[in-house]
Chain A
């Protein structure tokens, strides 16, 4: 390999057919005289722009395969083999990731290695990981590197951080997300999963259907079934959020509702039945009453609320169970859009209360396709205010444009799976942790179950990893009509 050109933080390296270098690989450009080295990553592999190639290809296009034109070469000096060698030479487009100055890692690259003296060699991912000193105090084994060495990140790299797991359908996002959930709870962290498709409900079972090691630590709450609450468990702020944001209650009606709620609260009569009666008998404008009634019936019909305390679940108790390592999976699979929003408003409201009251230290929140249940104002809330209270969110989506740009900009870690659509790549490339070209070039060619790790977890050195298989019931598979009969 020979150093050919450097423009900004892009380095072009000439590589020859005998050298095996692929997208995502790291190369070390050592300048022995300066005792420095550049750590670069290949983001694209192109054919070297050698003059005369077009003429040769046109001339040789018919060779061998065409009846119309056949022939042979008397080339005793075997110049043709050199021609082929040059034709197949490649240009590696690399991005500078860091610099090594006397063996010391430095993020700057304000120097230029010698073009003639530099030695270029492959830097295996394991050597890179040793070099960047990723802390392995609380390891999460994500999978393996290209060299089939295990790839671990540290759980602390997710602590207090905002993460995004994204990629197109069936590339392995949910799989990685489950792996992160199980690894976190394995390290004693409390995890809440907003499970849109019921994929996490069976995390406590192995692939063979038997209980696994996480059996006692994964708690599934299905709204309307084993997850119902009483009004008495709710705070006014939470129910108002539900009514205003999930059920679009207008401001005037909300004010009346506040009075009704306070009235019932003073009398310790916060039940569904009493609320209905209060709305019926409340002295107010008929339009307001109608608005309140329509929301009241929405609450009743959701099946999420109950007047029977024995049917109600205390979320506080649930959080206590996962306090020292466990997952609370809120299964939203059979829940309608409005009911989903009601449940999420309630869970997040309650979560914030517990964190504010220091009853819970922090929680890792995994939100699958959050745009389908998270109200507009929550996005900013989650990445700014709630983070300070101890909600560390991981968004999982296959529609990257549903996540707002400011979320990408503030994301600490991005676990990127394959995308081919230019629009999707454009959305993901807004992540501040990496340059646009790297995202676009590497993500486009990622095979299934391979993930590009960006951000704090890999100390801003993008690394491609093959995500390891999990011994759990995934349940993430789409139900098919044309299934094979056994």
Chain B
């Protein structure tokens, strides 16, 4: 008999994401999480095989879809100098992380957590809300249910259920992205005159980022006078073989590097819903790909980034709000152990390490994922 874990939603002390807690998703999340875990205990052997390596997903696609700039003129790059705009603007960032806790005989066990960080002048500092972690046991039997719930909330019920459930191995990435979309939608809906920072790009057209959904998300944000700024930590953007993030090094920060040309995806299904810039907001070695909603006038886009550098702390060209969101969502090794302990305590799940096949076969030459 498995005891249902008692939980109490945390009372909100801070005004902004209260709306997030009012929604049904956290409750459904907990229920789904518990139900999925419960099915482990129903199995004969309650063993959890610990992975050799920790697979962490950060809701950002591992493979960046690199655009080709049509009509691009060689060496025609436009550097836009930026001046901090002192207009008071709230900034909100969201990030979601997931981690593979282990494998059972029937599926995978992962944990997911989201962090929202916001800053406005009223608070004289940063505020955060951490949601989770929620462990999920995903099997071939329940993956459709879990995926559909995530899709239902994240992509809103407007989307008909036509997409097939992904492979078990891809579930982690998919549900991480879906949760992030749901939070992004909530933030876009409930904030006003704000800057909303995303981790990643405004590329749409994948199964968990359908074009119309991302477009709708951006539209919702626009309608409430919000601006979505998406920062990609890693980019492969190149011009005549040169990395664009290297070319901007010559520019005097804070500045943006604007591409001359129209970004086109390698496949028809992929769409770039943002104008792509390279941002160098402070002195230092770093610069980032920055996508800003294409439907915003250029001046408004530039003004948004000028408000960002005035209202947020920026270090190594990266906004502090987004950095904190990443830090607060990321799992530590200890948290993985803590989740394993929770499952052991509540569901008598015993964690063991699978024999390392590489080691068994090749001895010291078996340099597997865990290194040598």
Contact = CB atoms under 8 A, between A and B. Distances in A.
Interface of A: 50-53, 55-56, 59, 66-80, 82-83, 85-87
Contacts of A75: 10, 130, 132-133
A86 B337 contact: yes
15 contacts: A52-B332, A52-B335, A56-B335, A68-B125, A69-B126, A70-B127, A71-B117, A71-B126, A72-B13, A75-B130, A76-B7, A79-B133, A82-B338, A82-B342, A82-B345
B41 to A, nearest CB: 15
Contacts of B127: 69-71
Interface string B309-335: 000000000000000100110101111
A2 B7 CA distance: 30
Contacts of B328: 59, 71
A79 B128 contact: no
Interface string B16-32: 00000100001000100
Contacts of A53: 332, 334
A87 B324 CA distance: 22
Nearest to B337: A86
Interface in B112-138: 117, 123-135
Contacts of A50: 333-334, 337
B77 interface: no
Contacts of B173: none
Given A77-B30, A78-B342, 14 more contacts: A50-B337, A52-B332, A68-B124, A69-B126, A69-B324, A71-B328, A72-B14, A72-B130, A73-B130, A74-B131, A74-B132, A79-B335, A80-B338, A83-B338
A83 B132 CA distance: 13
Given A50-B334, A56-B332, A79-B338, A74 B124 contact: no
A77 B134 contact: yes
Given A51-B333, A69-B125, A77-B134, A86 B341 contact: yes
B178 to A, nearest CB: 18
Given A69-B324, A74-B131, A83 B334 contact: yes
B68 interface: no
A125 B124 CA distance: 56
Interface in B1-55: 5, 7-10, 12-14, 21, 26, 30, 33-34
Contacts of A73: 10, 129-130
A59 B126 CA distance: 13
Q: Which of B21, B126, B334 has the most CB of A within 10 A?
A: B334
A-B pairs with the 9 shortest C-beta distances? A52-B332, A76-B7, A71-B128, A51-B333, A52-B333, A82-B338, A52-B334, A68-B125, A83-B338
A80 B332 CA distance: 12
Contacts of A74: 9-10, 21, 26, 129-132
Contacts of B345: 82
B28 to A, nearest CB: 12
Contact of B7 (A69, A78, A85, A87): A78
Nearest to B29: A76
A353 B313 CA distance: 88
B16 to A, nearest CB: 11
Contact of A85 (B26, B134, B327, B341): B341
Interface of B: 5, 7-10, 12-14, 21, 26, 30, 33-34, 117, 123-135, 324, 327-328, 330, 332-339, 341-342, 345
Nearest to B126: A69
A67 B124 contact: yes
Given A55-B332, A83-B335, A72 B129 contact: yes
A51 B337 CA distance: 9
A73 B127 CA distance: 11
B130 A87 contact: no
What DSSP secondary structure best describes chain A's contact surface?
A: mixed
Contacts of B10: 72-75
A238 to B, nearest CB: 72
A83 to B, nearest CB: 4
A73 B14 CA distance: 12
Given A69-B125, A74-B10, A78-B7, A59 B327 contact: yes
Nearest to A50: B334
A87 B334 contact: yes
B338 A77 contact: no
Nearest to A76: B7
Contacts of A87: 334
A294 to B, nearest CB: 77
A79 B339 contact: yes
Given A50-B333, A67-B125, A77-B5, A72 B338 contact: no
A126 to B, nearest CB: 35
B114 to A, nearest CB: 9
Contact of A86 (B8, B129, B135, B334): B334
Contacts of B332: 51-53, 55-56, 59
A348 to B, nearest CB: 64
Nearest to A68: B125
A85 B12 contact: no
Nearest to B331: A52
Contact of B12 (A56, A72, A83): A72
Q: Which of B330, B332, B338 has the most CB of A within 10 A?
A: B338
B129 A76 contact: no
Contact of B125 (A51, A70, A76): A70
A76 B128 contact: no
Contacts of B34: 77
A71 B7 contact: no
Nearest to B125: A68
A5 B33 CA distance: 36
Contacts of B7: 76-78
A68 B123 CA distance: 8
A77 B5 CA distance: 7
A72 B129 CA distance: 5
Contacts of A67: 124-125
Contacts of A59: 327-328, 332
Nearest to B330: A55
A79 B336 CA distance: 10
A69 B133 contact: no
A73 B342 CA distance: 17
Nearest to A77: B5
A72 B14 CA distance: 8
Nearest to B128: A71
Nearest to B114: A74
A77 B126 contact: no
A85 B338 contact: yes
Contacts of B124: 67-68
A254 B342 CA distance: 85
Nearest to B13: A72
A49 to B, nearest CB: 11
A82 B342 CA distance: 7
Contacts of B133: 75, 77, 79
B9 A76 contact: yes
Contacts of A82: 338-339, 341-342, 345
